[in-house]
Amino acid sequence: MTAAPRPRIEGDWLFVPAPQQHDPYRLFCFPHAGGDATAFTPLGHALAPAAEVWALRMPARGGRGRRPMPADFDRLVADVVEALRPHLHGRFGFYGQSFGSLLAYEVARALPAGQRPDAVIAASASPPGDWAGPTPPQCTAEDLLRLAGMGELVEAEPELRELALRAIRADLTVRDTYRHRAGPPLAADLYAIAGDADPMLDAPRLAGWARHTSGDFGLAVVPGGHLLATVEQPGPVDVLTSIIGREPARTGKEEPWLRPLSI
């Protein structure tokens, strides 16, 4: 029996938790505020061999703890674009969670026409226009840690808790510099996903993502809270598998989960 390839780091920015020996669909995953690439390890194994997860290793945490976060959101987007471009070939898509959804969307917009994803999947995130202005004062790093369901995981580990809070604060600082700029809709299919028990998201607002694509739009409400893919659970595997299996061109194909929002 051939042993499964070990996880690997690609460059400085990317983590591949379950490398495949062929060249399948690549799903680039963008973590939530304070999140680390390793959160997508269960998802990588669940999607194999149909897809290969490439997770973004954000600065100021984990193996990149000594790397400073870029000074503003635009610089972060530019840095991610530069890191991704050598790896964007064949069929690929972007999957983001919360803050990572916003980053995935803006990176897709910033890429040159020949290197844009087939699909952008925004999980647990309001549309881009809702991110204008500073983080609401009630959304402290401590609140986000708790509401994201991570509080209990680090409560007994003060050092780990402080590292998690430091990473969240770094991302919130960059998030506060974000300004949505109107422009042509994204020439890629766009899907919004929400957990049915998400305490942080006004789910009906997800329909607003439809204005940001000229391709197909779909919305799915799945079991779960704010964070869907974590170190303990793979997340919305069925929905992602369905998206990955669709033809890249607009087909009008109906899927059981692809529907207007009705909550």
**CA atoms within 13 Å, Cβ hemisphere of 221:** 15
Mean pLDDT along residues 9-25: 94
Query: Cα separation of 6 and 95, whole Å?
Result: 22
SS3 122: strand
Asked whether residue 115 carries a pLDDT value surpassing 90, the answer given is: yes
How does the average pLDDT of the chain come out, rounded?
Answer: 86
Per-residue exposure over 230-257, b if at least 16 CB sit within 10 Å of its own CB, e if not: beeebbbbebbebbbebeeeeeeeeeeb
Better pLDDT: 35 or 1: 35
Asked whether residue 155 carries a pLDDT value surpassing 80, the answer given is: no
The correct CATH number of 8-245 out of 3.40.50.1820, 1.10.1240.10, 1.20.120.550, 1.10.3720.10 is 3.40.50.1820
pLDDT recorded at residue 32? 92
Mean pLDDT along residues 76-89: 97
Parse the chain into domains and list their residue ranges. 8-245
Band (pLDDT 50/70/90 cuts) for residue 106 is very high
